Amino acid sequence: MTLRLHNTLTGAKEVFAPLEEGHVRMYTCGPTVWNFAHVGNLRAFLFYDLVRRHLNVAGYRTTHVMNLTDIDDRILDQAMHAGTTIAEYVKPYEAAFFENMASLRAERAEHYPRATEHIPEMVDMISTLIKHENAYVADGDVYFRIASFPKYGALSHLDRAGLKAGARVAADKYDKESVSDFALWKKAHPEDEKLGAAWDAPFGRGRPGWHIECSAMSKRYLGDTLDIHSGGVDLMFPHHENEIAQSEAANHKTFARVWLHSEFLADATGEKMSKSAGGFTTLRDLVAAGHDPLAVRFFLIANAHYRSRVRLSTEALHAAAEQVRRLREFADRVKRTPAAETDDGELAKRTAEVRAAYREALDDDLNLPQGIGLAFDHIREANAALDAGRVGALNKVALLALIDDMDAHLDVIRAEEPGLAAEVERLIAEREEARRSRDFARADRIRDDLKSRGIALEDSRDGVRWRRISRVT
């Protein structure tokens, strides 16, 4: 089994091998905490989670760094309007980011460096770039000299004809069509001091540009060369081109060996969801509308391959919720059904084949939707075998192993609230007690309460059983 990943740099799927055996160094561009993350941002962050999880499945240890951009033009603007410092302004958005990631069950990165806590590293790198004549000071600002880096544009396969030698851009967000010398450092203005957004540097007091933070912080935590660098496609140019230019000009080493870019999430109109464009949806909005965060997770990682665009819709979220429910229902059923006397050998063999095919799909550039599709076909067959009493001890073990394989990426099957099963059993006992004492109103209340949490009770000959149903919203 070999892992192949689509490397934006070469435009091809390549067999993946990290520099250091068994250990992957991965840097992923994190949130700019000027506002709440929208579901599009979350798609990118959950893609990083998928990469990380599959690397772990493939046997690698990962050192994963995701930066928090806590200084940029928008943060300065907003903090000024709010009459506070940038540090105070970003706090609730940073907290909301971690809350989102936890409710979506994204595994934690090893490091979440904040830009404002790594200014010395940025100043060092900028000093080196000035010394190498890859950067110059102009009126207190420092710019990267694009003409000094012939490889510029290699990642996004940019036509360098559009290069405007000497044209300068100081803003963090700018025209994506033209290539210009970009700001590494911006001269401090009096209002920056009040916002707590100015630092001393040998080339003058000021604040860093956006791009330099990723070059400086990745070096600090992962060294000069990364195995994997990842972000959304919109970051490929200019952000990632600029990162390559800064890092390679400063370190004289390859910056990132493999570049992975995940596609956009589109809103209902088919446009790229974006904060600046207005109509964006947050996880909080979806939860308020009755969606389970884990259905959102499933939708974002398993509905489409990471290099395809996806459109957010209520129907798609409901379909994802239904798939999650089917997976949980199946897992519960396999666990709870007593092993049959007869064990279908053919079924066990096919389960092993499906496990291998699932792994193969993930190894093929993280094709989770394909893997899930294969598994769902097999689950239909396994359910029929359960109906027919052909699932013995051997098959149970094989099917549970398949579920575990899937959940290593999905993390929605076993992810029920801790203690759920015990609580359901307790409520069932309480309902039985209520019925014995002829308190039927109370018994019904317990049943309705469970129903609204996606649990249906069924009275059977062997007592009360429970199963998962679509959550009532």
Site of interaction with Zn ion (CB under 5 A): 29, 214
Cβ atoms of residues 246 and 144 within 8 Å: yes
d(CA 213, CA 113) in angstroms, rounded, equals 10
Determine, following the binding rule CB under 6 A, whether residue 40 of this chain makes contact with ligand AMP: yes
One residue of 209, 231, 293, 392 binding ligand AMP per CB under 6 A: 231
- Which one of Zn ion, ligand AMP, none interacts with residue 274, CB within 5 to 8 A by kind? ligand AMP
Q: Nearest distance from residue 211's CB to ligand AMP, in Å? A: 12
d(CA 2, CA 378) in angstroms, rounded, equals 24
One residue of 31, 153, 206, 209 binding ligand AMP per CB under 6 A: 31
Q: Where are the alpha helices (DSSP H) in 303-419?
A: 314-336, 345-363, 368-387, 393-410
N residues, the chain: 473
Q: Nearest distance from residue 449's CB to Zn ion, in Å? A: 46
Tokens of 387: 């109906």
Total residues interacting with ligand AMP, rule: CB under 6 A? 16
Determine, following the binding rule CB under 6 A, whether residue 235 of this chain makes contact with ligand AMP: yes
Q: Nearest distance from residue 156's CB to Zn ion, in Å? A: 14
Tell me whether residue 102 or residue 277 sits nearer to ligand AMP (CB atom): 277
Q: Phi and psi dihedrals of 426, rounded to 5?
A: -65, -45
Determine, following the binding rule CB under 6 A, whether residue 234 of this chain makes contact with ligand AMP: yes
How far is residue 381 from each of residues 324, 387, 403, 412, measured CA to CA in Å? 18, 10, 14, 21
One residue of 5, 44, 79, 385 binding ligand AMP per CB under 6 A: 44
- Which one of Zn ion, ligand AMP, none interacts with residue 350, CB within 5 to 8 A by kind? none
> Of 30, 444, 65, 97, nearest to 282 (Cα)?
97
Residues 237-266 that bind ligand AMP (CB under 6 A): 264-265
d(CA 208, CA 201) in angstroms, rounded, equals 10
d(CA 429, CA 437) in angstroms, rounded, equals 12
- Which one of Zn ion, ligand AMP, none interacts with residue 31, CB within 5 to 8 A by kind? ligand AMP
Tell me whether residue 230 or residue 303 sits nearer to Zn ion (CB atom): 230
Q: Give the binding site for ligand AMP (CB under 6 A).
A: 29, 31-32, 40-41, 43-44, 231-232, 234-235, 264-265, 272-274
